[in-house]
Structure 1
Amino acid sequence: MIRKAKAAWRGTGRDGDGDLTTDSGVLSETPYSFKTRFENEKGTNPEELIAAAHAGCFTMALAFAMQQAGYTPTAINTEAAVSLDPDGGGFKISKSALTLTAEVPGLDEATFKDLAAGAEKNCPVSKVLNAEITLDAKLL
């Protein structure tokens, strides 16, 4: 399975702007810029999208783990807070902090913690934060 997204950018890093589009159409020329990334202007940014992906992936992985263990959650809610920190002359994503609340009838605290830890380790987005990255670059 391969999922795709496209980014377009016009202008300089600080004064330019761009848009993001996903093959599913959920994002369609969604604006992003220096201001949406660093000054909270309306639009999105890469870190917000990584946070959404991590929260969604982890939550679904936990739901599957609970199902395999014989539990049916009433609600699972996760927030991911992705930190973007200075790194030399640039920036790095230094952390993704997951905050989880769940309602699961019959589930004890120890089993809950084990299932949550396993879901965090095994969700594909948790794994991608240390993934191999390839680049095929062409100058037009």
Structure 2
Amino acid sequence: MIKRSGSAVWSGGIKDGKGSISTQSGALDNTQYGFNTRFENGPGTNPEELIGAAHAGCFTMALSGQLGEAGMTAQKLTTTATVSLDKTDDGFTISAVHLNLVATIPGANQEAFEAAVLRAKNNCPVSKLLNAAITLDARLEE
């Protein structure tokens, strides 16, 4: 079993407070987050963009593996994961993640590409973790 960790520190109230997020690897080290970074586009990060980055990274790596199993090697895979945070009667919920993929794979077969994309979307560990609707657009460039 592999375990990775992230941590958060928060001081103050929800709107006037300040926090920082760190990762075990040090990729994030006391990176600022707060109400203004989450709801008002202030400087720093927020949980939704971190989930988006994690999902994009996981899906793209899983796709590389699926393509390899299908006999294809990508020249370049670029994925953006857009995470939707919606206000509900109970507060907020992450309701959806939309993956947008642009792939450059010389000599790729469209049908095999689409099958690999679907397997990666359904089976990457972050997709399995999220209890949200996960949608995907994938475009193969030549």
In the superposition, the TM-score normalised over structure 2's length comes to 0.89
CA distance in 1, matches of 2:100, 2:23: 27
How many residues matched?
130
Unaligned runs of 5+ in 1: 131-140
Partner SS state of residue 67, structure 2: helix
Give the superposition deviation at 1:68. Answer: 1.4
More strand by share: 2
2:80 is aligned with 1:79: yes
Give the superposition deviation at 1:17. Answer: 0.7
Superposition misfits of 4+ residues, deviation over 2 angstroms? none
Partner of 1:129: 130
CA distance in 1, matches of 2:111, 2:71: 15
In the superposition, the TM-score normalised over structure 1's length comes to 0.91
Partner of 2:17: 16
- Superimposed CA distance per residue, residues 11-36 of structure 1 (whole angstroms, 9 cap, x where no aligned partner): 00111010001110000000000000
Letter in 1 for 2:66: A
Partner SS state of residue 19, structure 1: strand
CA contact (8 A) 2:70 2:112 kept: no
Partner SS state of residue 32, structure 2: strand
Letter in 2 for 1:42: P
Partner of 2:34: 33
* 24-33 or 85-94, larger mean C-alpha shift: 85-94
CA distance in 1, matches of 2:85, 2:47: 10
2:90 is aligned with 1:95: no
CA distance in 2, matches of 1:113, 1:71: 12
CA distance in 2, matches of 1:114, 1:70: 13
Give the superposition deviation at 1:89. Answer: 3.5
CA distance in 2, matches of 1:36, 1:113: 36
CA distance in 2, matches of 1:5, 1:113: 33
* 36-45 or 85-94, larger mean C-alpha shift: 85-94
Root mean square deviation, CA, Å: 0.7
Letter in 2 for 1:126: S
CA distance in 1, matches of 2:79, 2:21: 24
Unaligned runs of 5+ in 2: 132-142
